């Protein structure tokens, strides 16, 4: 069996696509990983097949010489790993953490494939394109994409785990309109404090349920808040069965990471995106606008966020659900031809191509 190494790290936004790609390829390839310490806590892979490369970010500062030397050491280590493990091909999920393994693969003349889930080409992938055979994207209209490499783009449907295709999708709205609020396990002030006040105001007019993600330290406070205001609720920090929470909800309020939007979209759940303003190159806003232009979501810029604006959007959804139902219909049209087998076939066809 041939061997593939997937190089990734950082956040769940990098780890989840890596594990989805593994799910597609594991029947025909033996899968290995390189990952940094940040990403190690997110990965569910057997740790015996993981090499840790804690790659430094090469910023120009007083520590640059030391970081550069460490990167050289990690490149040498990566070359040795690829040789010892007899890796045939390398797939990068992007980010500076993949630099040593990509350079090592280039030195050994291994085939390199890239994955870019955002609508703006990441800086790491822009550099790696010089060495890559193909890059998997969700669109062929990426910002900052060099025209000379346009022939390397392979457009695929957004990656989600197989269980998202298999779960029965409920088209009926709950008797208690159910909101899923998902701002990431670390949470943020806007998700931890501002949105809950809007939920309270809505609950004074309508019977609602709230499923709310927050950080571990805030679980008790948020639970007490909803309980004291007689709002049915589920509070969580991280849930491996996130698919079930999306399934139970009617409407999602979320950040705009590519994987989160892909999961919500394929479940045909209309959503409101509040993109993370500090995301590199503002890629979350671009991700959300892709769905907005297809009539599938609402967007609020965090810089212009206020409770009244959010309340009015949600109030209109409950009072007059024509727009809500239209967005649900648009999501169904968007995902009509999206199938696990279709994505699976294309990934295997391109990666296994001689």
Contacts of range 310-315, beta carbons closer than 8 Å, 24 or more positions apart = 310/194, 310/195, 310/198, 310/272, 311/198, 311/201, 311/202, 313/272, 314/179, 314/198, 314/202, 314/251, 314/272, 315/202, 315/205
For the domain spanning 165-335, the CATH number is 3.40.50.2000
Residue 63's pLDDT band (cuts 50, 70, 90) = confident
Question: Does residue 272 register a pLDDT over 80?
Answer: yes
Residue 240's pLDDT band (cuts 50, 70, 90) = low
pLDDT of residue 7: 96
How do residues 139-157 score in pLDDT, each as one tens digit? 999 999 999 999 999 999 9
Decide: residue 192, CB within 10 A, 0-12 exposed, 13-18 middle, 19+ buried: buried
The matching CATH number, chosen from 1.10.3760.10, 3.40.50.2000, 3.40.50.970, 3.40.50.10860, for 2-157+338-351 is 3.40.50.2000
Residue 252's pLDDT band (cuts 50, 70, 90) = very high
How do residues 317-336 score in pLDDT, each as one tens digit? 998 889 999 999 999 999 99
What are residue 235's phi and psi, to 5 degrees?
Answer: -115, 135
Tokens found for residue 293: 């232009």
Task: Count Cα atoms within 13 angstroms, Cβ side, for 40.
Answer: 12
pLDDT of residue 23: 96
Identical fold at 2-157+338-351 and 165-335? Answer: yes
pLDDT of residue 43: 82
The pTM of this model reads 0.91
Question: Does residue 185 register a pLDDT over 60?
Answer: no
Question: Does residue 78 register a pLDDT over 70?
Answer: yes
If DSSP codes are grouped into helix, strand and coil, which group holds residue 82? Answer: helix
Q: How far is CA 148 from the centre of its chain?
A: 27
Q: Which of 128, 54, 49 is nearest to 91 (CA)?
A: 128
Ranking 4-13, 41-50, 287-296 by mean pLDDT, the lowest is: 41-50
Domain extent listing, the chain = 2-157+338-351, 165-335
Tokens found for residue 76: 């040498």
pLDDT of residue 274: 95
What are residue 297's phi and psi, to 5 degrees?
Answer: -155, 175
Kindly give, in sequence order, each residue whose CB lies less than 8 Å from that of residue 163, ignoring residues fewer than 6 positions away.
243
Ranking 7-11, 59-63, 198-202, 262-266 by mean pLDDT, the lowest is: 59-63
Ranking 4-18, 25-39, 128-142, 181-195 by mean pLDDT, the lowest is: 181-195
pLDDT of residue 186: 55
Handedness of CA 171, 177, 178, 179 (dihedral sign): positive
How much is the average pLDDT of 93-109? 94
Residue 64's pLDDT band (cuts 50, 70, 90) = confident
Question: Does residue 310 register a pLDDT over 80?
Answer: yes
How much is the average pLDDT of 179-184? 88
pLDDT of residue 168: 86
How much is the average pLDDT of 121-126? 92
pLDDT of residue 280: 83
Decide: residue 322, CB within 10 A, 0-12 exposed, 13-18 middle, 19+ buried: exposed
pLDDT of residue 187: 58
How much is the average pLDDT of 63-87? 95
Residue 354's pLDDT band (cuts 50, 70, 90) = low
Report which of residues 185 and 344 the model is more confident about.
Answer: 344
């Amino acid at each position: 069996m041939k061997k593939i190494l997937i190089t990734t790290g950082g956040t769940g936004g990098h780890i989840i696509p890596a594990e989805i790609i593994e799910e597609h390829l594991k029947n025909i390839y033996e899968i290995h990983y390189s990952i940094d310490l940040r990403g190690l806590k997110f990965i569910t892979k057997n740790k015996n097949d993981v090499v840790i490369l804690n790659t430094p970010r090469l910023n120009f500062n007083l520590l640059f010489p030391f970081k550069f030397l460490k990167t050289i050491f990690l490149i040498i280590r990566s070359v040795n790993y690829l040789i010892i493990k007899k890796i045939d091909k390398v797939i990068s999920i992007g980010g500076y953490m993949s630099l040593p393994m990509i350079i090592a693969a280039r030195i050994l003349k291994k085939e390199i494939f890239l994955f870019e889930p955002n609508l703006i080409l990441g800086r790491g992938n822009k550099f790696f394109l010089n060495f890559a055979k193909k890059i998997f994207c969700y669109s062929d209209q990426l910002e900052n994409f060099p025209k000379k490499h346009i022939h390397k783009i392979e457009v695929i449907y957004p990656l989600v785990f197989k269980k998202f295709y298999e779960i029965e999708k409920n088209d009926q709205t709950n008797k208690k309109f159910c909101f899923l609020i998902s701002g990431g396990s670390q949470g943020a002030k806007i998700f931890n404090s501002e949105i809950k006040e809007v939920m309270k105001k809505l609950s004074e007019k309508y019977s609602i349920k709230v499923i709310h993600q927050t950080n571990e330290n805030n679980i008790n406070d948020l639970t007490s808040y909803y309980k004291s205001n007689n709002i049915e609720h589920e509070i969580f920090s991280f849930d491996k069965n996130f698919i079930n929470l999306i399934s139970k909800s009617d409407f999602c309020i979320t950040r705009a990471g590519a994987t989160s939007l892909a999961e919500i979209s394929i479940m045909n759940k209309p959503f409101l995106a509040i993109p993370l303003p500090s995301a590199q190159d503002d890629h979350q806003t671009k991700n959300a606008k892709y769905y907005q232009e297809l009539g599938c979501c609402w967007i609020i810029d965090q810089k212009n966020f206020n409770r009244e604006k959010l309340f009015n959007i949600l109030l209109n959804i409950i009072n007059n659900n024509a727009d809500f139902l239209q967005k649900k219909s648009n999501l169904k049209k968007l995902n009509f031809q999206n199938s696990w087998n279709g994505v699976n076939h294309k990934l295997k066809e391109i990666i296994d191509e001689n």
